Structure 1
Amino acid sequence: MFRIAIQVRELISSNVTSALDGASNPAKLLARLQREIEEALIGLAGETTKARRQQDRLKAELVQANAQEADWGAKARVAMDNGREDLARKALHAREDSRSKIAQLKQDIARLDAEMTEMQEAEIQLEAKRDDVRKRLADQLAADGNASGSAPRGGFASRTEKRMDHIANLEKRTAFATEDDAVGRGNASVDREIEEMRRERLVDDELAAIRSAAPAKPKKAGKSSKAA
């Protein structure tokens, strides 16, 4: 999830009408809300750019990983053709590493796709919110007859502080959740061992398939007997 997701969601879901009802200075509230929305839009644009660059890099890595997977498979067959089962086994292990990398890269690319789609939707919603706030601000300033929008600090500032405290609390909860990861480390080691067994079985099966498909080598002709 992109870093400014919490701020963006709160801005999108904020009820401007309810906030104005309890505001001592509606113009100042609207001006600050407009600035927050514009800052969030800038942040979204930056996050989208970073995600796109990261995805381009991952796609380039995926092309390389696919090529490496095919290359290791070919090398395994060459090794077996030359009677080097030990090298063929190592090549197939390397190929499995490439396959694992390919699977992870595909997951990361799909995740970035989803995040960029979410950011684009959030940007559209924020743009609409900004247009609404700008119109309300213009109407309020016209009604007040005061384009400065300045006034003593009111309820909006306190609500902003509460929102920042809420974000800090969420970050603390995330930190606490990561502490619980240690509990699952024992299970992870078991999972790794089972995965290694699966890989070994796959390599054994592949070697057997290559071995059975290899053409039989012709027997060397014996020395002709000397003429009597």
Structure 2
Amino acid sequence: MGIFSRTRDIIAANMTDMLDRAEDPAKMIRMIILEMEETLVEVRASAARTIADQKEMRRQMGKLAQVQDNWTEKAELALSKGREDLAKAALVEKRKATDLSEQLAAEVGVLEDALRASEGDIAKLQTKLREARSRQNAISARLESANNRVRMREMYAGQKTEDAFSRFEVLERRVDWAEGRADAMSLGAPPKSLEEEIAELRSSDAVDAELEALKARQQARES
């Protein structure tokens, strides 16, 4: 299969069917884009070789034109000297150079047609490649956004979050149990005796007296 035929096959391929049969559509898209890129490189390289061949052929045609002129001059010289046989032989050599030049011109024309065809193929393939890359980027962005939304929804509405909040209830129940145990330990404690209550009053009076003394000293310093 020629390089240009393969290019047209890629452009005309039913990518939807290929993706339906692919186990990993994203991987298949990457493979298609890679093949398109490789084909584009090959087509351009082939076009470059064709252009180089054309230039070489045109150089050869230029040289053959000089050869034809030389044989024409030789034929005229021979004829002027009465050597018709030599003039005829010179014209035969000129015809050989002319035939070769015409053959090269025909080949240059064939290569020119091939270049025009490849130029069209390259333009179509570049368009498809840009479209494929653009759609790949858009799909990748959408996929990333969808995955982010899924993770966010799992965080606030997923089973893991529900399980975590149910554990909060268990933990709160344990705290209630610990606090209840602490409160229960003070239940049934014996009441304070009369001496203990009077001692607390005395302690409170001593603190109040010391506070008043501190205030008096501070006022004396300020005055």
Structure 1 and Structure 2 fold alike (TM over 0.5): yes
Aligned partner letter, 1:25: D
Report the secondary structure of 2:22's partner residue. coil
CA contact (8 A) 1:41 1:126 kept: yes
Superposed, 1:93-112 pairs within 5 Å as: 93-112=92-111
For residues 58-93 of structure 1, the C-alpha deviation after alignment (integer angstroms, 9 at most, x for no partner) is: 111111112221221221121111122222121011
Larger displacement relative to structure 2 (96-105 or 7-16): 7-16
Deviation per residue, 1:34-63 (Å, 9 max, x gap): 000000111111111111111111111111
Distance, in Å, in 2 between the alignment partners of 1:38 and 1:107 is 32
Once the two structures are superposed, the pairs formed by residues 44-193 of structure 1 within 5 Å of their partners are 44-145=43-144
- Aligned equivalents of 1:140, 1:29: Cα separation in 2: 14
**Residues 19 and 25, structure 2, Cα contact 8 Å, conserved in 1:** yes
Q: CA contact under 8 A between 1:27 and 1:140: conserved in structure 2?
A: no
Which amino acid in the other structure matches residue 118 of structure 1?
A
- Residue 23 of structure 1 aligns with which residue? 22
> What is the one-letter code of the residue matched to 1:32?
M
The 2-side partners of 1:68 and 1:75 are apart by 11
Provide the C-alpha distance between the structure 2 equivalents of 1:43 and 1:71, rounded to a whole number of angstroms.
Answer: 42
Distance in 2 of aligned mates of 1:144 and 1:26: 13
Given residue 3 of structure 2, which amino acid in structure 1 is its aligned partner?
I
How far did 1:129 drift?
1.0
Equivalence for 1:195: none
1:138 counterpart letter in structure 2: N
Report the counterpart of residue 37 of structure 2 in structure 1: 38
Aligned residues: 145
RMSD: 2.0
Inter-partner Cα distance in structure 2 for 1:23 and 1:141: 17
**TM-score normalised to structure 2 length:** 0.60
**In the alignment, residue 61 of structure 2 is paired with which amino acid?**
L
Deviations 1:86-127 (A, max 9, x none): 221210110110110121111011111111111111111111
1:53 partner letter: A
How far, CA to CA, are the matches of 1:27 and 1:94 in structure 2? 65
**CA positional deviation for 1:145:** 3.8
Structure 1 unaligned residues grouped into runs of 5+: 147-228
* SS in structure 1 at match of 2:136: helix
Shift in Å, 1:144: 4.2
Matches of 1:105 and 1:91, distance apart in 2: 21
Amino acid at match of 1:82: K
Distance 1:51 1:44 in 2: 10
